[in-house]
Amino acid sequence: MTTLTSLARARAAERGHAEPVCTVRHLHLSDRPLVFVPLTLAGEACAPLAAMIGDDPRAPRLLTVAQPRNRDQRFAFTAELAAAVIPYLEGFSAASETVLAGPGREERTRYCDAPQVLVPGPAAITFTRMLGRSTRFRRTDGPYPVPALVPLLGRWLTFLAEHTEIPGSCLLVAATDALSLHWATGQSPAEDLNLAALTGWISPPAGLTGSQAAAVAEDPLTWPPAGPATDPTFDNEVLAPLMEACDRAAVSGDEPAMRRARLALDQALRSQLIPAWELMWQAVGLLRSLPPGGHVAARWDADKDAFTFHAGHLRDGGPPQPRRDSAVAAARRLARLERLQASYGAQRAFDDPLVMAERRLAGEAFAGRVTAAEPGRVDRSGRRAVLRPRVTVETSDPVLAEEGSVVTSPARPAQEARIVSVSMPGGRPAQVVLELSKGMGRGLTAVAGSVPAPGEQVCYATFHDGYQPPPAFPEPDQTPWTHGGPLQPYVPSDEDAQEAWS
Q: How many CA atoms lie within 13 A of 256 on its CB side?
A: 0
| Site map 201..220 versus other proteins, x via CB under 8 A | -----------------x--
Nearest Cα neighbor of 288 from 17, 28, 92, 37 is 28
**Binding of residue 4 to other proteins (CB under 8 A):** yes
Q: Which helix (H) or strand (E) holds 127?
A: helix 122-135
Which residues on neighbouring strands pair with residue 292, listed in sequence order? 25
Instruction: Find the shortest distance in angstroms from Cβ 76 to other proteins.
Output: 16
**Binding of residue 20 to other proteins (CB under 8 A):** yes
From 28, 155, 299, 360, residue interacting with other proteins (rule: CB under 8 A): 360
Rounded to whole angstroms, how far apart are CA atoms 87 and 64? Answer: 20
From 31, 43, 104, 426, residue interacting with other proteins (rule: CB under 8 A): 43
Residue 22 or residue 436: which is nearer to other proteins going by CB? 22
**Binding of residue 456 to other proteins (CB under 8 A):** no
**Binding of residue 488 to other proteins (CB under 8 A):** no
Phi-psi map region of 439: left, alpha, beta (phi>0 left; psi -120 to 50 alpha): left
Question: Are the C-beta atoms of 403 and 419 separated by less than 8 Å?
Answer: yes
Residue 281 or residue 490: which is nearer to other proteins going by CB? 490
For other proteins, the binding residues in 382-421 under the rule CB under 8 A are 396, 398
Nearest Cα neighbor of 46 from 123, 144, 117, 116 is 123
From 30, 164, 230, 282, residue interacting with other proteins (rule: CB under 8 A): 230
Q: Which helix (H) or strand (E) holds 418?
A: strand 412-423
Classify residue 70 as exposed, middle or buried by CB count within 10 Å of its CB (0-12, 13-18, 19+). middle
Instruction: Find the shortest distance in angstroms from Cβ 220 to other proteins.
Output: 8
**Binding of residue 380 to other proteins (CB under 8 A):** no
Residue 176: C-alpha distances to residues 71, 147, 194, 282, 296 (Å):
32, 34, 8, 12, 19
Residue 60 or residue 151: which is nearer to other proteins going by CB? 151
From 67, 116, 128, 134, residue interacting with other proteins (rule: CB under 8 A): 134
| Site map 305..324 versus other proteins, x via CB under 8 A | ------------------xx
Residue 113 or residue 358: which is nearer to other proteins going by CB? 358
Instruction: Find the shortest distance in angstroms from Cβ 483 to other proteins.
Output: 16
Q: Which helix (H) or strand (E) holds 110?
A: strand 106-111
Nearest Cα neighbor of 387 from 447, 431, 432, 433 is 447
The residues that touch other proteins, with contacts defined as CB under 8 A, are 1-11, 13-14, 20, 23, 41-46, 130, 133-134, 186-191, 218, 230, 232-233, 235-236, 239-240, 323-324, 353-354, 357, 360-361, 396, 398, 499-502
